Amino acid sequence: MISQVEVTSARSLAECYALLAQRPAGLRVLAGGTDLMVQLTAGIGVERLGHALDIWRVPELRQLSFENGTLRLGALTTYAELIESPLIATHAPALAAVSREIGAWAIQNRGTLGGNVCNASPAGDSLPLLLAAQAVFVVGGPRGERQIPSSEFFVGYRKTALGADELLLRIEVESDEQAGRMVYRKVGTRRAQSISKTLLAVRAQMRQGVLHRVRIAAGCLGPVPMRCYAAEAAAEGKRFEPRSLPGARAPVDASEVAAVQAALDADVKPIDDIRSTAHYRRRVSGNVLAQLLAELSGTTA
C-alpha cells in the first residue's frame, strides 16, 4: 500500500526543471500513466515511489511538426495523435500503423510515445521502429538540453541513458522520403491488444535494384530493444525478391536469405518466458525478417 505520495502537476518546462533540480527521493515522471498505474495496481515498485511529477499539462512537450525532412514528436504525443496525424501518414506511416496495435482506444488516447520510450520495455511496440529509424531523443533538464541517439538510449532492462534530473522532450525522426521506407511486423498471441512475442522493424532505401542504408531493429529478443547490426551488414547491398523466400517455388538465392537469418540469430538473445519460448522467437523472427526484406525489395526504386 502507498501511504502518501506527493504529486507536482507542472504547467511548464521551467516548473519541471525546478523540481528535477531538487532531485526528490523516489521521483517518478507521470505522462499518460498507462504503465505507471498498472505497476502501482500490481504493487510493482511501490516502495520506491516517493514523488510524482505530472507532466501531462506541459505544452512544450506536445509539438508534432515536420521541417527539413525531419518529424519532431513531442514526448506527450499520444498514439491516437500518431494514428490521426496527416504528417505521420505522409512521412512515417509505419508509426501510425504500429500505434493502432498498441492497446485499445483508451490506451491510444492516453498513452504517449515518450512514455513508451522511457518505460524502456523490450516489448515496447514503438521502440524497434524508432531504432530502425535512427531516431534522436532530445532530453533536457536544469543543466540544459542534449541529444541521445536511439541506439545509445536503452542501456539495460528498463533502464535508459536519461540522467536523474532530465526529461525526454521530443523524438526526432527522418522521413521515409529522406531515409528510406520503413516496414515492421508484430507477432503476438492474437491480432489486437496483445503484448508482442517478437517485433521486427526494417528501414532501407532502394538504389539500382538493391537495398542500401539497411537498418534492422527488434523487440522481445533480448533484455532491451536492439539494433541488429550483423543482420544489417548481411542485408546491405542485396535484393530479396518475394520469390527468394524459403519454401517458394523458384528461389533466387536462398543462401543470401539464410545468411541474413543466421546473422540475426547471432544478434539476438531471446529467453523463454510466459508469452513464448526462445526457440519460437528465433525461428519466427528469422522468417519475419525475410518477409520484410522481400517487401522492401519490391519497392519501386
pLDDT value at residue 19: 97
- Cα separation of 63 and 171, whole Å? 10
pLDDT of residue 249: 43
Specify the pLDDT at position 195: 85
Low-confidence stretches of the chain (pLDDT < 50) are 244, 248-252, 301
- Distance, in Å, from the CA atom of 63 to the CA atom of 75, rounded to the nearest integer, reads 8
Would you give the distance in Å from CA 253 to the centre of its chain? 32
Q: Calculate the CA 178 to chain-centre distance.
A: 19
Distance CA 73, CA 78 (A): 10
- Under a CB-based contact definition with an 8 Å cutoff, are residues 99 and 108 in contact? yes
pLDDT for position 42: 62
Q: Are 66 and 85 contacting, i.e. CB atoms less than 8 angstroms apart? A: no
**pLDDT for the residue numbered 250:** 41
Please report the pLDDT score of residue 231 as a whole number. Answer: 98
Question: What is the model's pLDDT at position 3?
Answer: 57
- 241 C-beta neighbours (distance < 10 Å), count: 16
What pLDDT does 194 receive?
73
Q: What is the pLDDT of residue 252?
A: 46
Cell of 28: 517518478
* pLDDT reported for residue 50: 83
Give the Cα separation of 281 and 265 in Å (integer).
10
pLDDT of residue 260: 97
In tens, the pLDDT along 96-123 reads 999 999 888 888 999 999 999 999 999 9
Contact between 78 and 88 (Cβ < 8 Å): no
Q: Give the CA dihedral 254, 257, 258, 262, nearest 10 degrees.
A: 170
Strands (E) in the chain, as ranges, are: 6-9, 27-30, 51-54, 64-67, 70-74, 136-141, 144-149, 154-156, 159-160, 167-174, 181-187, 198-207, 210-219, 226-227
